[in-house]
Amino acid sequence: MPDGILPAKRTLRSVEDMIQSGLASESARVALSQVAARYAIAIPPALRALITTPDDPIGLQFIPHAAELITAPHESADPIADEALSPVPGIVHRYPDRALLKPLLACPVYCRFCFRREQVGPDGGLLTDAELTAAYAYLQSHKEIKEVIITGGDPLILSPRRLAEILHNLSAIPHIEVLRIHTRVPVADPALITNALLTALDIEKPLFIAAHINHAAELTPAASAALRKLQRLGIPILGQTVLLAGVNDSEEALGDLFRAMLRARIKPYYLHQLDAAPGTARFHVPPERGREILANLRGKISGTALPTYIFDRPGGLGKIPL
């Protein structure tokens, strides 16, 4: 680790933390304070430990940057129209047979490219009991819904008691056949996968977990061990990756990541084209380049390691393979 970059024992949450820990320079203070006024910051110790320089593949994903203040003409606060497709708070219902449930909008880490960056944050979006009840009633009354995807924010930072209650209530709806959780916790804070959390996740209905992982370095021994505990409950783990300039936009980086996922028994599921959230243009990779990388990987790595390259069209039109 270079001079001036110190390991962190706690989650770094402020511009002051960034400067103190050597992740940002004093001269960036004013611009970064403006960024911090708009977008949440959190870098937990497990990810902090992987940053050697601020512009390496891990640093780029999580360290705030002055470029976030510039919104490009095509960027939107709600790039995939979650809000427009929300019949009751916390529910997004775009595809007939699947609905999203967002019980909270806090995360263990805040990704600088997040497509829900205008919504997520440490003190936002915890559904009240009444809102949860209304969400269950909506799901109950829509018999076409076969799968509920619990997302956010990050559902695995809920208390095990709260999570168990949600899983229990969803399980009680007969037409819901499958549950899925989208999370960053196994890589961001593997210590959160406690026995109490595992007990909450040990349910009768099929439960899948989609883990958001963008670089092979994120799959540390601790992250893999946390994922293994989930797999031992019979929970299949899917890998979700966002294609990001400077992070993973090369044959080598994605090949390494997908192979690391297979070693951790994770099926690479989606490679997402970046959504046009405000201030994220520095991460943009042209779709032609994404296609070229995947085409070059085909034949070089196992077919089971290749995800579907997917784009969520603006305006709520839904996902299409690229």
Ligand X SMILES: *Cc1c(COP(=O)(O)O)cnc(C)c1O
Contact call for residue 313 and ligand X (CB under 6 A): no
Contacts of 22 (CB under 8 A, 6+ apart): 3, 4, 5, 6
Dihedral over Cα of 278, 282, 288, 294: its sign: negative
Q: How far is the CB of 82 from ligand SF4 (least distance, A)?
A: 11
DSSP one-letter code for 93? E
Catalytic residue list contains 184: no
What string marks each residue from 148 to 177 as x (binds ligand X by CB under 6 A) or -? Answer: -x----------------------------
CB burial of 255-290 (b: ≥16 within 10 Å; e: otherwise) equals bbbbbbbeebebbbbbbbbbbbbbbbbebbbeeeeb
**Residue 102 touches which of ligand SF4, ligand X, none (Cβ within 5-8 Å per kind):** none
What string marks each residue from 114 to 153 as x (binds ligand X by CB under 6 A) or -? Answer: -----------------------------------x----
Do 147 and 98 contact (CB within 8 A), yes or no?
Answer: yes
Contact call for residue 215 and ligand SF4 (CB under 6 A): no
Closest residue to ligand X, judged by C-beta, is: 94
Q: How far is the CB of 50 from ligand SF4 (least distance, A)?
A: 15
What string marks each residue from 156 to 195 as x (binds ligand SF4 by CB under 6 A) or -? Answer: ----------------------------x-----------
Instruction: Say which amino acid occupies 63.
Output: I
CB-count exposure of residue 314 (10 Å: 0-12, 13-18, 19+): middle
**Residue 184 touches which of ligand X, ligand SF4, none (Cβ within 5-8 Å per kind):** ligand SF4
Which of 23-31, 110-118, 124-132, 252-260 is the region at the interface with ligand SF4 (rule: CB under 6 A)?
Answer: 110-118
- Find how far residue 201's CA is from the centre of its chain: 19
Q: Which of 12, 23, 193 is nearest to 109 (CA)?
A: 12
Q: For residues 218 and 249, which CB has a smaller minimum distance to ligand SF4 in the complex?
A: 218
Contact call for residue 107 and ligand SF4 (CB under 6 A): yes
Q: How far apart are the first and last CA of the chain?
A: 39
Contacts of 60 (CB under 8 A, 6+ apart): 54, 112, 244, 246, 247, 283
Cβ atoms within 10 Å, residue 2: 7
Q: For residues 110 and 115, which CB has a smaller minimum distance to ligand X in the complex?
A: 115
Catalytic residue list contains 265: no
Catalytic residue list contains 146: no
| Footprint of ligand X (CB under 6 A) | 80, 92, 94-95, 98, 100, 149, 319
Catalytic residues: 94-95, 98, 107, 111, 114, 116, 275, 312, 319
